Structure 1
Amino acid sequence: MARLFGTDGVRGVANLELTAEIALELSVAAAHVLAEAGAFGGHRPRALVGRDTRASGEFLEAAVVAGLASAGVDVVRLGVIPTPGVAHLVGQLDADLGVMLSASHNPMPDNGIKFFATGGVKLDDDIEDAIEQRMAEAWRRPTGAGVGRVTDDPGAIEAYVAHLVASLGADSSLEGLSVVIDCANGAASMTALAAFEAQGAEVIPLHASPDGLNINLNSGSTHMTSLQEAVLEHRADLGIALDGDADRCLAVDHMGTIVDGDQILAILALAMREDHTLHGDTVVATVMSNLGFLNAMRDAGIAVDQTKVGDRYVLEAMNANGFTLGGEQSGHVIMSEFATTGDGVLTALHVAAQMARTGKSLRKLASVVTRLPQVLVNVPGVNKARAGIDPVVNAAVSAAARELGRNGRVLLRPSGTEPLVRVMVEAETAGRAQEVADRLADVVRDRLSLEPAGR
């Protein structure tokens, strides 16, 4: 049986793969496992529950709340709020557990359940495994005063927005900046606009009218064409693209050019180094970061600690070494002084603040990174376990790396969920990168095919 938890909680098509029954059983099991692990400290536990704008979040929220309360956990409903808002409030309000209902940038029919432990951090793998094993087991149900109580906290969103604004410092202002904010019709449709307006920015909202069905629909960080058009139309200084639960952001400069997570990370790394808040003069990134980012950081004297793909691995490296900044090309950026997880609105505010502080355009700030063309080819139907040990594949990768030299890079990465290998190549030109990637993909396909020879 496949593991229920993925790299970012439990996710699937709502009411088909992720049902109300699963949501309830997960919540009950989580309450029991965390109680036995001592996470509740022997007192009556309290959980915060938030969701994004998906219609399915309404019934899944009801199931999660019912499961927690039936297991004796007091529940505070936060309503529609970004994922990092739940994580922050778990810590700020000293709650024992946080639950977020969201499938992030996935299409509307999907949904997901993410758990946060005390302090607003994601659960360890062993705790997730224990929760899965506990599901559907018989348990002794509390009665009477032993059942959990359910309340709402209408001021939670305002507290989260205040935290975002306060992160910039008392002397920071965004007055004079015009910004288009694409909220993806998601969880930040109120918080992002409020935070930027509180700092004096001129805000042009885009895709900020959620109806339960339009989250991420041709909008947000995975569909940025309309944001590029809006920035040019309004002659804005920058555009911000969030995803459905606002844990990531990408940007657009005043000329309509996309600024990706690597460039955003570089802007923040340089700003934090200047402010002496970049611990160890080191930034954490994944192996998928563009070579142009790595070169820019090397030239600036900033070290890069690279991890496996996934914001959880970035956070693990940050926590293990006390680093204060990390992120992914996709726009997940973690600023550990202010957040325990990626926060798109927080990231966007600090990028805009650097523009205001320096008087430089986003295009100028992002130009520190000269991105190399990057090509990614997925090779399905192969034995991914042999990707790093097959001698012919390894020889082909080494030859390609020598061929590209300092002006290129090769990475083979097995998929975490499918029988496929991802071949990533960076080179001076897109054509060169494509040619090398296709050649390596042919070698992987020939050597690692799951089909019997001769078929």
Structure 2
Amino acid sequence: MAGERLHGTDGIRGKIGSCGAGESPIGKLIFQREISAELFALVGQATGSVLVEQVAGMARPDFYSPLVVIGWDRRDGNEALVSALEAGLLHAGCRVQRVGEVPTPGLHHCILLLEADAGMMVTASHNPATDSGVKLFDGEGYKSMPELEDLISSKIWELDGEAEASENDSATRKGEGDVDAAPNLLEKELEQIPPFDGLVAYRDHLASWLDTVCDLLEVAPEQWPQAVAEQGLLLDSSGGIATDWLSFGLTRRGLLCDEVSSRDNPINKDCGAGEFNPTDSWSNQELAGKQSHALLQALGDQIRNNDGNPPWNDGELVAAALDGDGDRCLLIEATNGGVQIVDGDQMAYDWMQARSTGQPQRLAHSIESDLCLPAACRTLGAESIQNAVGDRWLSNSLNPSDDGKSRLIFDDSMPLLFGCEDSGHLVMPTQHPLKPNHWSLAGDGAASLVSQLCARLALGPSRKTLERGWKGRVSVNGVDRSRWNGQNELASKVVEIVDQNLSEANLKNVEIEGETSLLLLEGTLDGEAISIGIRNSGTEAKTSVSMRSSSQNNVESLTELMNQLGDFLSDKLIP
């Protein structure tokens, strides 16, 4: 256990708690999935120490202190976590700039705008409001990769060991890092950092990005109503910061838009993209019944207010949902008898169709994307790459790191790069605010929404839907994730069960960089491509079984196997 990486798929996350005298903050994270101000002080100090060591080898002025930007979302425990994180960074010798409550892409923009060395976002994304966590970005807006996380984790373990050995270090463990312990230069520079409104800066950036997309696709926001149902678009910002302004901004630009989530409720409670699966659909009859999810309830209200008839037509967009920290988006469109999710795979395909100009495009997608997506990309002359789950792996495939060289992309037009996860995480190029013709990569729910509106306008009647295979997923919740690593005896037993049920399949084990707990079996069954994946969640106490097929021919047998594996893992993984 000692020395293991503490970061998951997207940073460190857990239930917000506390750490009493004699308790280990790391132990509570690992064994109870609980975070605390004490842990965040260690995380801040460890991250700051690594940053100080890194900038020491760079061309920087004498006595330079790394600048770290901190943003956060709306969770009751975040104030204490932010203060503890800041205290640890200051103790390590960093300067800290708070940018306020912002969406995660807003922090990304502030990092570039303020020319910071790193950024830290205190959030747990779509997780319940009782959870929080922290995501780390480098100075060019890219999320941390395992190599850096290993350095930081090792430093956290080291600091925790020192704290246990000395009562004099207890203040650091309690998140009470002393600014006076840092160099005098830090005090002076800290006083010179003015308050900064990160949300205003981000909204200005989003408006500029919209102008770029409209020019690129030769459309205008005034045309957006043509892309949605007559009654306009329902928007669910999951009670995050976008709840206060995004629907108004869209309406001001010509699209009738109503926000359905409320900041009077806890973030993500009965709302947001995190409550949906990419394959979800609902009949009009189901919508007209009682629904706990705010967006589905609002859709049902539209049916009830229209004499029980849906006020939309097949294929029209009716709603959109972001997650709590605003870095992903799912759409909902009308079908012949109800509505369905438009997942990240279809949104990627729409965007690539809209940008298909004969120039080569590149798409990075996750191991959970539809098996038909790569073939669809080839019809557009696009290269596709399969990646681990997590939008950082999408960015890394689209623009790999190269021995410390700058990862900013130089192009006089938006680069033909795109990343998608079926969950609605879309990675797109975003302009650097200070360097013309330079681009970073970011996941941005609001930007994804407006890009999809523009893409549908640009495509018009020529828009094609993605030819679909089949996907199924079963999640086992409340597991002890240490019992599954994709390679142990339990994994071997899973392979035996698969072989017994699919004796005619030709399958092989496939390794994916970045997936430390994944068992991925890929091959063919009756001439059709199939994929079976089992992996631990990097953010929750959950293990998922995913099945994919390039056709509908083997759905019954694959569904039966998927449920059998879910039951088997429930018995073995739940304490």
Could you state the TM-score of these two structures normalised by the residue count of structure 2? 0.68
| Structure 2 SS opposite 1:291 | coil
Residues 18 and 112, structure 1, Cα contact 8 Å, conserved in 2: yes
Alignment partner for residue 318 of structure 1, among 378, 387, 398?
398
Q: CA RMSD in A?
A: 3.5
Equivalent position amino acid for 1:164 in 2: L
Equivalent position amino acid for 1:227 in 2: L
Is 1:243 aligned to residue 323 of structure 2?
A: yes
Against the structure 1 CA distance between its residues 85 and 215, is the aligned structure 2 distance closer, same or farther, given a 3 Å change threshold?
same
Alignment partner for residue 368 of structure 2, among 288, 296, 311?
288
Matches within 5 A, 1:119-268: 119-135=140-156, 136=159, 137=162, 141-147=181-187, 149=190, 153-168=195-210, 169=212, 171=215, 172-175=219-222, 176-177=224-225, 178-190=232-244, 192-193=246-247, 195-197=249-251, 199-207=253-261, 209-211=262-264, 214-223=266-275, 225-231=293-299, 233=301, 235=311, 237-255=317-335, 256-268=339-351
Is 1:59 aligned to residue 160 of structure 2?
A: no
Against the structure 1 CA distance between its residues 433 and 94, is the aligned structure 2 distance closer, same or farther, given a 3 Å change threshold?
same
> How far apart are the structure 2 equivalents of 1:406 and 1:200?
49
Unaligned runs of 5+ in 1: 451-455
Against the structure 1 CA distance between its residues 392 and 73, is the aligned structure 2 distance closer, same or farther, given a 3 Å change threshold?
closer
Is 1:428 aligned to residue 552 of structure 2?
A: yes
> Where does residue 453 of structure 1 map in the other structure?
none
Residues 272 and 322, structure 2, Cα contact 8 Å, conserved in 1: yes
Residues 77 and 152, structure 1, Cα contact 8 Å, conserved in 2: no
Bigger radius of gyration, 1 or 2?
2
Matches within 5 A, 1:79-98: 79-98=100-119
> Where does residue 385 of structure 1 map in the other structure?
487
Residues 253 and 259, structure 1, Cα contact 8 Å, conserved in 2: yes
Unaligned runs of 5+ in 2: 19-33, 163-168, 173-179, 226-231, 277-292, 303-310, 402-408, 410-415, 432-439, 507-522
Residues 108 and 214, structure 1, Cα contact 8 Å, conserved in 2: yes
After superposition, the C-alpha distances for 1:110-159 in whole angstroms (9 at most, x for unaligned) are: 00011111111122322222222223257993254433626564542122
Against the structure 1 CA distance between its residues 436 and 124, is the aligned structure 2 distance closer, same or farther, given a 3 Å change threshold?
closer
| Structure 2 SS opposite 1:273 | coil
C-alpha displacement of 1:391: 7.3
Equivalent position amino acid for 1:410 in 2: S
> How far apart are the structure 2 equivalents of 1:65 and 1:184?
27
Residues 408 and 428, structure 1, Cα contact 8 Å, conserved in 2: no
Equivalent position amino acid for 1:310 in 2: G
> Where does residue 512 of structure 2 map in the other structure?
none
| Structure 2 SS opposite 1:347 | helix
> How far apart are the structure 2 equivalents of 1:181 and 1:143?
48
> How far apart are the structure 2 equivalents of 1:13 and 1:449?
24
Residues 328 and 425, structure 2, Cα contact 8 Å, conserved in 1: yes
C-alpha displacement of 1:342: 1.5
371-380 or 8-17, larger mean C-alpha shift: 371-380
Alignment partner for residue 335 of structure 1, among 410, 420, 428?
428
Residues 47 and 95, structure 1, Cα contact 8 Å, conserved in 2: yes
Residues 374 and 433, structure 1, Cα contact 8 Å, conserved in 2: no
Instruction: Kindly tell me the number of residue pairs found equivalent between the two proteins.
Output: 440
Is 1:437 aligned to residue 454 of structure 2?
A: no
Residues 475 and 542, structure 2, Cα contact 8 Å, conserved in 1: no
Against the structure 1 CA distance between its residues 191 and 93, is the aligned structure 2 distance closer, same or farther, given a 3 Å change threshold?
farther
C-alpha displacement of 1:261: 1.3
Equivalent position amino acid for 1:428 in 2: Q
> Where does residue 376 of structure 1 map in the other structure?
473
Equivalent position amino acid for 1:399 in 2: E
> How far apart are the structure 1 equivalents of 2:271 and 2:65?
42
| Structure 2 SS opposite 1:336 | strand
Residues 103 and 110, structure 1, Cα contact 8 Å, conserved in 2: yes
> Where does residue 68 of structure 1 map in the other structure?
89
Q: Once the two structures are aligned, what percentage of the paired residues are identical?
A: 29
C-alpha displacement of 1:372: 3.1
C-alpha displacement of 1:98: 0.7
Residues 296 and 368, structure 1, Cα contact 8 Å, conserved in 2: no
After superposition, the C-alpha distances for 1:159-212 in whole angstroms (9 at most, x for unaligned) are: 2122222223264422252322100001322353355345432221120x324x
319-328 or 255-264, larger mean C-alpha shift: 319-328
Equivalent position amino acid for 2:77 in 1: S
